[in-house]
Structure 1
């Protein structure tokens, strides 16, 4: 045994001297049972199960009634793990469990758990007692290291680093009216909480419990943190990294990876109230929707998806605008003709907004029928209204008798809104829905079940990859993407918090995320709209939507400068589609989000812990939105390494703060040294035309790589390996630059193409003089633009061959 580990294991811990008025686990004496990877300890007052999922991840379950809950499939999608090689030993006061990555030390009296890295470093230890139960509340307290910081917890809008904070996780918008101190309280916003965090000490913890939870991450005491659930089993997973990407990979292996969306879903999404938001419903119509789509196309604004929000349907007799009747308003004269017109304009998907309650309309009484058949979630006196998304019969009936009424006309996805209303206060009414203990247990996972149903149903019906837009979520929601940040007003004070929401949800395993560009409620200041759009086009999902009548966040309603800005960044996003799509595939494989907080890749750089307004967009780009009205400059932190201004090519050394100029039409973007960024030609919608030439935007560096991912863009065949990977690499040595482009490899064959290399050169660098392609000297087809300090090279060979470019400088 490693000497340092032997010392640590023999040291033990000093117990807290405070009197704890709670039911503890007590002492373990003997009787451990092993079944495969699972060890069961019968202690005095409870049974504890320790299960090794992988060499670096284990599960701890504590049951005071000695009965353990059955598996559920909404939060956790994987319960089957390969055998883990665990060596065990039994000493007088402790048990040891060792894998190739960690050592778990279980103290017998009182029962406590300590976790060590292989080199003997203490990673985590129970503080005092391993677990406690007070009434129905179950909790666990851990030691807090002096240098430890915490990240995750879902779509938080308050802070990025949660050390010394108290956090409550329970799906909801924020209580209280007026909205300015209720629903718009960034401290209470809980649209998509996730009971999971990562520690800079190199581990993560996922509390596998769907009841409301509370977390004290050092607020009460600087030497410990705790987490608790209102009821249920104390069940948590400990995940060793030690780096954050590895922790996220393991966490999403447990709760599910984000599937690939259709490639066109990475294009622009546009939402509409069809011309009539709340109070203006009579102005809504199918003709407005068709004219809106035509305007996007006529103005040359790239867009792929469109959905109709609430006012496409009449508000029913029982739930009003808080439920769904599935009856069109009479101002929608020809819904099928509307869908047909939109698809004729090459919109790829058109969807509809709904809410999770059944309702009776004028001609259709779905609520009455569902109650009669017992297909609503049960409430006293048969007054249930919610579709019982926990019951497949209810889901099937909802689909066949409700959703199919619009899917058969042309709807291809849903916006599943108001998932928080199950067991909570609804936005659009004072109804609470079910509130008993079972409903409290299901409240947080209801949005997951709600999103799952149409995602899977439409995937089968459309015969392409699924898509669902939802506002609320919980652990596991990443399997039924995507979520958006909710109804934040068009005010500067909410812009920054929305960015934090995107960073935090990405740190929590949810990669497909979006927000309403310019904000949702109220007309936007044109400057705010401009800045928010810049951020929106560099978000995982680009989405424009608002309820301000009559502007609706449509870009031509905010002035020519705002329209020009919208088109500039929308076109750039479509050009970046190969880059974005390749990173989406990486997310599917590893759990790494498209939008990444800086701490995700620099967890030991304390400078990044509080940065909530910068992020990595994929592997190579760092985006720095401007969130201050009137700002012409902003301060940016550049992490370790060498960085290049994306727009000017100016070089910066990292590990420092820099002040950059930010004209209104410019969002600061930086590229890592060695970056290779694939870009396609401009398009008005996905696959508008074949990609005959792919641009590789190359930034200086000693070396660089990028792997381009390609498939058919819509089918599920990628899960069976039917895709292609093309490797790009650069190597700089002395006065030589080598660029290698492999031919695509894999079971999918993309159309052949040539490449345009756009090679950024450092200021003052010698100009290129000799260029060879596949060993042959070339005198044409390349040029050096001194004013841009950029070398352009068009390849002679196409993608059916490997291509080697060698460039010599003076």
Structure 2
């Protein structure tokens, strides 16, 4: 363990050691491979083939919305209970658990926003080895085969998904260790009982049934007689034999990784299941990994790992685990899109195999020509260390359907306050109040807008969160009020490791309330992090979360004001002296659950409690802003995510695009990467390009390591300052568009930042593209991410579609791949013909200062001369849009040479001074005149200009309120 001085503070030598660890490249030996994770290795050693599981058709039970049936492992005779539900919205749910476990197995709470509504389920066919079920309208069918067990989902007569078709179902049952005290007692009891039977052989007997046969016998779905154990001696002999075989495998009851030994009181408890997608070659999702958007096959290497870890300076293009885990995978073909949501919070590995992997395009074409090619198929195998099998099958069929289905289960992206979509300035660390003031003034002096300045761990009193360093930040309230006067905000870091210090109020309260995670021996769990010795609050405990939320009240978080928001870092949790830099798996949480069961939920709960604290401090009026590094399914409900500790390298700039695209596919739209790279010092070209990329990603923050040189935007010369300023100003001009996209995501679950295949699902050209993307369906972005680039190749999708360069207004026809020459000022962005985008082009020092500024509408005409778009407007920071209906959702349509503005949602009403100052129509001819018509007013003539070379018509000063209904006619 690291050394500390008598006061408990870390010594200089310890700090140096830790900092060296942070700035060095990732040491992969600190993190497990599949072979070093005993359950992953055990499951992977099971090869595809005949499944040992059989469904017991005689135990089948039906209700209108569910089917229950027992599965038996014919090798060890352990019974499982399978539950299958048809869900509304074209989804199904499959749950598998032990029929009679020795103790309850962990089932993930709090992630689902509701119990999913079910749909009608009926039996439509049956024979001696299968049952056919019909879902809802009868178009979707499920065929359950008894031996070997498998399930097939069909739409019409087309097979779209198979479960356990490769026979890789694994369910390791809870058991007592063969040489445990209880087993010795049981053996003694059996010996005594045998002696009694010998003495009283004429007395008929039947023993109690600790392994659950009697419970099974009394259940609604009884074991068949031929499977039912009858004597306790038989059960013990059978169990001993099974457990003896299992115990021969290393890692069964304990495993050691480096210096850490993980003892497993329940033995092996892993679960696994395989799914097959016929006709599918493209799969996506399961973030977080620093890898391409389209997932690779994992044969010959490690599976993708989902286990939230603090990986210093992570490597790229490998399946190593990172800070967050969302166990959702999407499978896509030209015919349909499907999804799998594997609801399990334990360490999870995902294997992907394909029968077409490694085949070249020429080889596939040759197969097709020769008529000998097999149907493409992708197989996905999920393996988790503990818990149960609880999986949702999202049946699409379109990408938009899958997004709607998944977010109906876990919630949509929270609508952030408007300022959170603006530019954020951060580093580890701004030194003191004077430094904060100087940086804030610097943005004004150099005419660069920004909204939020951030403080890292050094702002606290000795890494004690909810405090301020009394020497460096003696007047936090005055500092925050100074920012408020400029209509700006601050974010301070609050990490979930609490300094063990009896002079620290937060620590004392958590300890007195018994809210810390425990060791397996019942003591408060302690590990080492930034403060030195630290305790870890048990965020799985609702009472702990409620207390944590209360700490954000203004009278609890001393010096805080309404413009102070929060950053949750290190919440994997990160523990410097723990196994794999995280918590021991045998640590204990409320309810006697081991950390192995809940690990991937920890960061989710930290962000949840923090966001709820921000809401509560305002009486539920204000929307929170919380950034988290660690996350799980459902984290989108509580704020933003960033991609962690990246590096100032070109490849890290490139990888930020597929990383955020992957998060958007699984509900987390509010994503970004540290602009400039967290580690190392970016050269000016890289920094400029990173600002240009960040300006077109949802979360836009510059951040840097404590050892890097300062990199405020004005420190790299006038030319680079101007380029960075232009990129940031582009972001601010588009804030109405960004805000509307986030509102749409909040309402519908659709991602903000989208891979091209989401909007063009039948175009195979786009399936592997992840260096360009769409914002909504209107803007296509292809940032420059290569050093010294003189040009980029841009693919414009859509048969018969047109696209307009947003800078030159050049009209381009699709589909085509074009080579675009670029300079250092270039940010290649195209607006889709048929879309309307609202901008605010009077950029001021912060977004709040632009609240009542006028809008410009960019109307990009499609091939038929039509276009449509929308705009969401509210106060930008409260829940009044939900609670009081105080909002405007405006719809703009252009058709027949008439642009109309109307309400997209009559339920909303909001008064604003903002107005329309200009309408720019791309692809328009020159009219003889332009007229404005408003309800109850006479028609008025408007001024306009027309550029014949680019076919751009600019209508000046309609001067209509953005909330009014009106029409503009070209004649």
Rounded to whole Å, the distance in 2 between the matches of 1:443 and 1:507 is 23
> What does residue range 367-446 of structure 1 map to in structure 2 within 5 Å?
367-379=507-519, 380=521, 381-384=523-526, 385-400=535-550, 405-406=556-557, 408-410=559-561, 412-421=564-573, 432-433=583-584, 435-436=586-587, 438-446=594-602
Query: Quick check: 161-170 or 217-226, which moved more?
Result: 217-226
* Displacement after TM superposition at 1:162 (Å): 1.3
Q: 2:291 maps to which residue?
A: 158
Find 2:943's aligned residue among 763, 781, 788.
781
C-alpha contact 1:173 1:188 (8 A) present in aligned 2: no
Rounded to whole Å, the distance in 2 between the matches of 1:698 and 1:498 is 30
Q: 1:730 maps to which residue?
A: 894
C-alpha contact 1:614 1:623 (8 A) present in aligned 2: yes
Rounded to whole Å, the distance in 1 between the matches of 2:680 and 2:649 is 8
Q: 1:9 maps to which residue?
A: none
Rounded to whole Å, the distance in 2 between the matches of 1:455 and 1:690 is 25
Normalising to structure 2: TM-score of the pair?
0.74
Q: 2:65 maps to which residue?
A: 37
C-alpha contact 1:693 1:755 (8 A) present in aligned 2: yes
C-alpha contact 1:23 1:133 (8 A) present in aligned 2: no
* Displacement after TM superposition at 1:760 (Å): 4.1
Rounded to whole Å, the distance in 2 between the matches of 1:778 and 1:399 is 56
* Displacement after TM superposition at 1:578 (Å): 1.6
Q: 2:124 maps to which residue?
A: 89
Deviations 1:756-791 (A, max 9, x none): 4443444xx753223233397765522224465421
* Displacement after TM superposition at 1:62 (Å): 1.0
Structure 1 residues 128 and 696: alpha-carbon distance in aligned structure 2, compared to 1, 3 A threshold? same
Q: Secondary structure at the match of 2:326?
A: strand
Query: Quick check: 650-659 or 453-462, which moved more?
Result: 650-659
Q: Secondary structure at the match of 1:707?
A: strand
C-alpha contact 1:22 1:133 (8 A) present in aligned 2: no
Q: 1:300 maps to which residue?
A: 447
Q: Which runs of 5+ in 1 are unaligned?
A: 1-17, 276-283, 317-322
Q: Secondary structure at the match of 2:899?
A: strand
Find 2:330's aligned residue among 175, 191, 198.
198
Q: 2:773 maps to which residue?
A: 615
Q: Secondary structure at the match of 2:56?
A: coil
Q: Does residue 312 of the first structure (1) align with residue 476 of the second (2)? A: no
Rounded to whole Å, the distance in 2 between the matches of 1:716 and 1:402 is 19
C-alpha contact 2:802 2:813 (8 A) present in aligned 1: yes
Structure 1 residues 184 and 239: alpha-carbon distance in aligned structure 2, compared to 1, 3 A threshold? closer
Q: Secondary structure at the match of 2:625?
A: coil
> What does residue range 261-276 of structure 1 map to in structure 2 within 5 Å?
261-275=416-430
Q: Does residue 337 of the first structure (1) align with residue 478 of the second (2)? A: yes
Q: 1:15 maps to which residue?
A: none
Structure 1 residues 290 and 728: alpha-carbon distance in aligned structure 2, compared to 1, 3 A threshold? same
Rounded to whole Å, the distance in 1 between the matches of 2:556 and 2:578 is 25
* Displacement after TM superposition at 1:376 (Å): 0.9
* Displacement after TM superposition at 1:174 (Å): 6.4
Q: Secondary structure at the match of 1:556?
A: coil
Structure 1 residues 408 and 65: alpha-carbon distance in aligned structure 2, compared to 1, 3 A threshold? farther
Q: Does residue 140 of the first structure (1) align with residue 291 of the second (2)? A: no
> What does residue range 662-677 of structure 1 map to in structure 2 within 5 Å?
662-677=822-837
Rounded to whole Å, the distance in 2 between the matches of 1:771 and 1:185 is 55
Find 1:544's aligned residue among 694, 698, 702.
702
Structure 1 residues 754 and 346: alpha-carbon distance in aligned structure 2, compared to 1, 3 A threshold? closer
RMSD: 2.9
C-alpha contact 2:113 2:409 (8 A) present in aligned 1: yes
Rounded to whole Å, the distance in 1 between the matches of 2:114 and 2:297 is 32
C-alpha contact 1:706 1:729 (8 A) present in aligned 2: yes
C-alpha contact 2:856 2:920 (8 A) present in aligned 1: no
Q: Does residue 646 of the first structure (1) align with residue 681 of the second (2)? A: no
Q: Secondary structure at the match of 2:157?
A: coil
C-alpha contact 1:23 1:132 (8 A) present in aligned 2: no
* Displacement after TM superposition at 1:555 (Å): 0.7
C-alpha contact 2:872 2:887 (8 A) present in aligned 1: yes
Rounded to whole Å, the distance in 2 between the matches of 1:435 and 1:183 is 28
Q: Secondary structure at the match of 2:929?
A: strand
Structure 1 residues 249 and 69: alpha-carbon distance in aligned structure 2, compared to 1, 3 A threshold? farther
C-alpha contact 1:596 1:618 (8 A) present in aligned 2: yes
Find 2:929's aligned residue among 770, 774, 787.
770
Q: 1:123 maps to which residue?
A: 160
Deviations 1:477-526 (A, max 9, x none): 11111111111111112111121111111111111111111111222111
Rounded to whole Å, the distance in 2 between the matches of 1:73 and 1:521 is 36
Rounded to whole Å, the distance in 1 between the matches of 2:515 and 2:574 is 15
Find 1:568's aligned residue among 726, 733, 748.
726
C-alpha contact 1:583 1:619 (8 A) present in aligned 2: no
* Displacement after TM superposition at 1:461 (Å): 0.5
Q: Does residue 470 of the first structure (1) align with residue 628 of the second (2)? A: yes
> What does residue range 1-80 of structure 1 map to in structure 2 within 5 Å?
24-44=52-72, 45-66=79-100, 72-80=108-116
C-alpha contact 1:422 1:446 (8 A) present in aligned 2: no
* Displacement after TM superposition at 1:186 (Å): 5.4
Q: 2:849 maps to which residue?
A: 688
Q: Secondary structure at the match of 1:473?
A: coil
Q: 1:169 maps to which residue?
A: 305
Rounded to whole Å, the distance in 2 between the matches of 1:368 and 1:797 is 59
Find 1:246's aligned residue among 394, 401, 405.
401
C-alpha contact 2:341 2:393 (8 A) present in aligned 1: yes
> What does residue range 346-357 of structure 1 map to in structure 2 within 5 Å?
346-347=487-488, 349-357=489-497
Rounded to whole Å, the distance in 2 between the matches of 1:302 and 1:666 is 20
Q: 2:750 maps to which residue?
A: 592
> What does residue range 449-598 of structure 1 map to in structure 2 within 5 Å?
449-462=605-618, 463-547=621-705, 551-598=709-756
Q: Secondary structure at the match of 1:206?
A: strand
Deviations 1:596-655 (A, max 9, x none): 111222233221122121111122001111111110201111111221111112222223
Structure 1 residues 706 and 370: alpha-carbon distance in aligned structure 2, compared to 1, 3 A threshold? same
Query: Quick check: 501-510 or 605-614, which moved more?
Result: 605-614
Q: 2:361 maps to which residue?
A: none
C-alpha contact 2:161 2:275 (8 A) present in aligned 1: yes
How many residue pairs are counted as aligned between the two chains?
763
Query: Quick check: 484-493 or 368-377, which moved more?
Result: 368-377
* Displacement after TM superposition at 1:553 (Å): 3.2
Larger Rg: 2
Q: Secondary structure at the match of 1:406?
A: coil
